[in-house]
Amino acid sequence: MADQQRMRIHPLDLESGAGVPHQQRPTAPLVPNGSFRSHKGHPSASSLPPPPRRVAPPMPLPPPKRRRGCCCRLICCVTVTVILLAVIAAAAAAALYLAFDPKAPRYSVSRLSVSAFQVDPTLTATARLDVTVTATNPNARIGIHYEPGSSLAVYYAAHRLAAGELPPFYQGHRNTTVLAVAMSGRAQLGGAAMSALRDAQTTGAVPLVFRAEVPVRVQLGGLRLWRVTSRVTCDLVVDSLGVNNPINIKASNCKFGLKL
């Protein structure tokens, strides 16, 4: 009895796992999801996962283009303003045209006389001419102011024989003014031009060109407008360039223009 009640204690081999039920044996420690375990010790650098790529934040959307709309409105306003001003200016010009009925002035060379014409051995010609210019203003409500600084010249074969200047004056409505202008100058003619001039005087048809550039201001009632340059070109044919002899102007064709 005493032997049965005596408890026997036997050593337990924990390493071999003897005496431990199968379901109570220790298991491997749990590894969290996303971690790596190495049976050889610490994980090597090659076994580590690459670091996550850094994703750039999305670019902000550009603000709505309001400047383009403002620029378009500004351009439209400027265009409309320019068109309105052009229409107003055209209407004013049309009203002035109907009110004043402007007409171009007329110019002509009515007389030409030679007081001196000499040619030296170097074929340089010295000339003194008296030119009578007739200016006609046909306008009933427009006056013309002829201002200082005019230039008048007589040419033969592109050689300027003589030059002069108109005196400043005012030409009223429907007025015709006759002006005598003294002109003088020197020109190197050359052998060919001198020979052609002798032949022209022999045949009685010497071609000349009269040119004038005169600064003028137009007066509309009490308003004097800006200055413009009046240009006159007259193609003349005279019978000779004889000194102190009456010279007959056989042909005259004058053209008028304005230089703004």
Q: Does residue 123 carry a pLDDT above 70?
A: yes
In contact, 189 and 124? CB cutoff 8 Å: yes
pLDDT in tens, 32-70: 555 555 555 555 555 666 777 776 677 776 665 556 667
Q: Which domain holds residue 175?
A: 106-259
Query: Each residue of 86-104: pLDDT tens digit?
Result: 999 998 888 877 777 889 9
SS3 148: coil
Ranges assigned E (strand) in the chain: 106-119, 124-137, 142-146, 151-156, 159-164, 169-171, 175-188, 206-220, 223-238, 249-259
Q: What's at 171, amino acid-wise? A: Q
Instruction: Please indicate, yes or no, whether the overall pTM of this predicted structure exceeds 0.95.
Output: no
8 domain-assigned = no
Task: Mark out the alpha helices in the chain (DSSP H runs).
Answer: 2-5, 66-100, 191-203
Query: Hey, is 216 helix, strand or coil?
Result: strand
Residue 68 placed within a domain: no
Which of 166, 163, 167, 168 is closest to 183 using CA atoms?
163
Q: How many CB atoms lie under 10 A from the CB of residue 208? A: 21
Q: Is residue 50 part of a domain?
A: no
In a domain, 118, yes or no: yes
- pLDDT (average), residues 208-228: 93
Looking at the 3D structure of the chain, how many domains does it have?
Answer: 1
